[in-house]
Amino acid sequence: MSAFPRVPKDLPTWVLTEGATGMVNQALALTDALGLTPIVKRAAPRGWPATLPLWLGLPALDHLAPASDPLAPPWPRLLIACGRKSIGLALAIKRASGGQCFTVYVQDPLIDPTRFDLVIAPRHDRVRGPNVMLTRGAPSRITAARLAEARAHFDDLLRPIPRPLIAVLLGGRTRRHPFKPAEATALGRKLADLSTTQGAGLAITASRRTPPESLAALRAAIGARAGLFYDGAGVNPYLGLLAHADAIVVTSDSVNMISDACSTGRPVLIARLEGQPSHRLRNFLSGLEEDGYIRWFEDRLEGYSYRPLDDAALAAAEIARRLASAAR
């Protein structure tokens, strides 16, 4: 990637979301790539401001939902927002700053993108425009440096597991994908068969959305073959799994986890979940498949290579260029 304008390390920067981990991580992926240490603000409007159309950008910055962080001067020079509840707040901050706050929105804002200085959205979203940068997936915090650090940190935990090591990243119940116990049992049996026939080690991690009953069903189907089974207790070895994996199996419901997996350069096998995926998710998966990033998980390991996703670095370069242009 070509060099981009230097961003001052002390540039006043906020990350604004309603607090969901996936949204926070997408925004932090961009500040990581820029070399910035932001103030993370978790906030959402409450009362009548929450009922206003998003395009108005008029939520009262002192009418926030309980437990929200305060939104008050001094305003940041750079604001990176993600999530629908942050849209109106981000526009209100831009207005309150007298237009001095360079405002970036991650994902499709579903309003005129020119209301922001820059919109960074995955190409499976419909938003387009002169100030819209399209990415393949969600900006990810997974980099070669973080993987190397995680590999060393989790070496004692994961090195004893037989190779090839398959990292299994489980999503969970959504409106379109219920991830029922019977489905989890079927996935567990496929993984167990793979472990038996190919001598593969299994390291499995659940997400916050994984239904407990489905997690129990999958665990029962795998039995003693799992070298590691993280169910939410203790330190999350997620980064360690990505760093040590020879291949990664990911359920098909999570754009964030699939983007993380495709940032490693390891084979990424998608476990198809029952249900009707959204148009956006279908486009996301088909695009990655066409570009050679993912394959569907059947009953075997597949070895292939690709250049790891670097959406966060590319998006950071665009932010830096536009910041430099705005400063002229």
Which pLDDT tens digit goes with each residue over 123-174? Answer: 999 999 999 999 999 999 999 999 999 999 999 999 999 999 999 999 888 8
294: Cβ contacts below 8 Å, ≥ 6 apart? 258, 262, 268, 269, 270, 285, 288
Amino acid at 176: R
How many C-alpha atoms does 239 have within 13 Å on its Cβ side? Answer: 16
Is pLDDT above 70 for 2? no
Q: Which two tokens stand for residue 237?
A: 């070895």
- Residue 182 has what pLDDT? 95
- pLDDT (tens digit per residue) in 79-97: 999 999 999 999 999 999 9
Quick check: 11 and 121 in contact, CB under 8 A? Answer: no
The pLDDT confidence band at residue 63, using thresholds 50, 70 and 90, is confident
Quick check: 188 and 218 in contact, CB under 8 A? Answer: yes
DSSP per position, 215-254: HHHHHHHHGGGEEEEE-SSSS--HHHHHHH-SEEEEETT-
Is pLDDT above 80 for 194? yes
Angle, helices 21-34/311-327, rounded to nearest 10 degrees = 60
Which phi and psi angles does 261 have, rounded to 5°? -60, -40
The pLDDT confidence band at residue 57, using thresholds 50, 70 and 90, is low
How many C-alpha atoms does 31 have within 13 Å on its Cβ side? Answer: 26
Distance of alpha carbon 27 from the chain centroid: 9
Is pLDDT above 80 for 6? yes
- Please state, as a whole number, how many other Cβ atoms lie within 10 Å of the Cβ of residue 24: 18
Superfamily of domain 144-296: Glycogen Phosphorylase B; (3.40.50.2000)
- Residue 56 has what pLDDT? 64
**Of all helices (H) and strands (E), which one includes residue 78?**
strand 78-82
- pLDDT (tens digit per residue) in 254-306: 999 999 999 999 999 999 998 888 899 999 999 999 999 999 998 788 889 99
- pLDDT (tens digit per residue) in 8-35: 999 999 999 999 999 999 999 999 999 9
Amino acid at 244: H
Range with the poorest average pLDDT among 38-52, 123-137, 214-228, 292-306: 38-52
How many C-alpha atoms does 160 have within 13 Å on its Cβ side? Answer: 5
Average pLDDT, the chain: 93
- CATH architecture for segment(s) 13-139+311-327: 3-Layer(aba) Sandwich (3.40)
* CA atoms 279, 281, 283, 286: torsion sign: negative
Query: How many residues make up the chain in this entry?
Result: 328
Q: Boundaries of CATH 3.40.50.2000 in the chain? A: 144-296
Which phi and psi angles does 196 have, rounded to 5°? -70, -45
